[in-house]
Amino acid sequence: MPKRPKRLIFFALYLCISSAVVFLIGVVLRSGFEYIGDGRIFVFRDGLLFFLTLLVFAYTSTLALCAYTIRLPTFDYIGRIIVTNVVTYTFLGFLLSFLRIPLYSRTIVVSVFIASTVFVFAYCIIRNRLFPTIVGITSGSTPGKLDVPTTTTWRSIEDNKLSQTKFDVVVTDLDNHYNDAEARTVAELRQQGYRIYDRNQFLRSLTGRFSLKDLSLKEFENINRNRLYLYSKRMIDLAILISLLPLLIPLCIVISIIVYADSKGPVLFKQCRIGYHGRSFVLFKFRTMNHLESTPTSRFASVNDSRITRAGHFLRYFRLDELPQFWNVLKGDMSVIGPRPEQLEFVERFQNNIPFYSYRHSVRPGITGWAQVMAGYADDEHKTRIKLEYDFFYIKNISLWLEMVILLKTFGTVVLGRGAR
C-alpha cells in the first residue's frame, strides 16, 4: 500500500500519547509516597525505569506490528491484535529469563498487557474511522454489486486519472477475462505498488461470509483442504471437554435442580437433529419451555416467547441451556465448534429452497460456530441464508486460527447475551 502522510502523523501522535500513558500506569502501580522525617515525598523505586522501558518497547512493537499487518478491517482483526500482544509479551518474558533479569512486578506486566490490548484495539477503530480504506474498483466490479462495509470507501478506477487518484488496494474480478485496456490498467497499478485482490476473496476477508450469489461448483474443489486439522479436531474436542469437566459437572447439577424446581417436567429436553453426513441424532439441552409446549415441533422461538419458563429466560440469555450438548460432543455426534444442527423438517425445507444447503453437513455440527456468533438466531429463510453464508466460509476456511477467533467471539456473545431467544 502506498504511504499516506496523514496516517503516519496520526500513528506517531497516537504512539507517543499512548506510550506515555502505559509508562505512567507502571509508575503509579509501583511507585508511591513515603514518609521521610516529617515530610512526604514521591519515591521512584530502583530498577523500575529499566523495567518500564522494556514494557513500553514491547507495547511500541505491538502497536507497530498491528498497524503494519492489520491494514484492512478484516473479520479477524480483534483476534490478531490479542495474539500479537500475547506473542510479544511472551517473547519479552523469555528474553528476561534468558538474560536472567528478574520479573520486577507481575501486576505491572498484566496491567500493561491489558492496557496495550485496549490501546491497539482503539487505534485500529479510530484509524478505520478517520481514514477508511480506499478501495479502487476496476470496470468489471462496480460498487453496486458489492456488499460494502462501512469502514471502506469504494472508488471506480478511471484510466485517465491513475496518477491523480490514490487507493489503498485495488479490487477486480480475477475470474473474468480482461479486455486489453483493463489489463493495462491493472498492470500499471501493480507496477505502482498496489496490492491487487480478487473481488470475491477480498469481500470474504472483510465480512467472513461466502456469498451464495457467487457460489459455484468450482468453489467446492478446495473445500475441506485442511484435512490434517479435521482429523485432529476430534482430539481437540475431547481435550476441551476433559478440561471443562471440573466446571461442567457441578454447574449442570445446580442447573438441573433449578429447572426441576422452576416448573413441572423433565430436566432435559431431547430433540432429533441432523448432523454429520446428514445422519440424525438426539440433541440434549436443559428444558427452558413449559413441558406441554416443549415437544419437538417445527416452530422457531420468538422474542419474549410465552412458552419459555422463568429459569429458561436466564439459561437462554447466557446459553447455559446448551451445556448438555457436551454429552453429544463426547458421543461424537457434535463438535465444540461447527454449524448449528437443525431439525429434520427445517433441513428438508431449506434443502429444496437454498442451493448447496446440505453441504453444511460435511463437518460435525457444533455447540457454537462462526454463523452463531456472527449472525445470531435465524427464525426465517432469509436469515438462514445469511447464516449459511457464514457456515460456508467456516467450512472452506476451517483452521485452528479461525476456531480460536470463534471461541473469542463466543465469550463476548455469552457475556453480552447477544442473539438470545
Cell of 202: 477480498
How far apart, in whole angstroms, are the C-alpha atoms of residue 153 and residue 129?
11
How far apart, in whole angstroms, are the C-alpha atoms of residue 388 and residue 354?
9
pLDDT given for residue 35 in this prediction: 47
**pLDDT by residue (tens digit) across 207-264?**
888 888 777 776 666 665 567 788 889 999 999 999 999 999 999 999 999 999 988 8
pLDDT given for residue 297 in this prediction: 52
pLDDT given for residue 294 in this prediction: 47
pLDDT given for residue 100 in this prediction: 78
pLDDT given for residue 123 in this prediction: 96
pLDDT given for residue 241 in this prediction: 94
How far apart, in whole angstroms, are the C-alpha atoms of residue 92 and residue 302?
50
Cell of 85: 500482544
pLDDT given for residue 137 in this prediction: 84
Closest-CA residue to 379 (of 299, 323, 314, 309):
299
Burial 124-150 (b: 16+ CB within 10 A, else e): beebbeeebbbbbbbbbbeeeebeebe
How far apart, in whole angstroms, are the C-alpha atoms of residue 145 and residue 140?
10
DSSP state at residue 71: -
For the chain, list residues with pLDDT below 50.
1, 32-35, 42, 145, 294-296
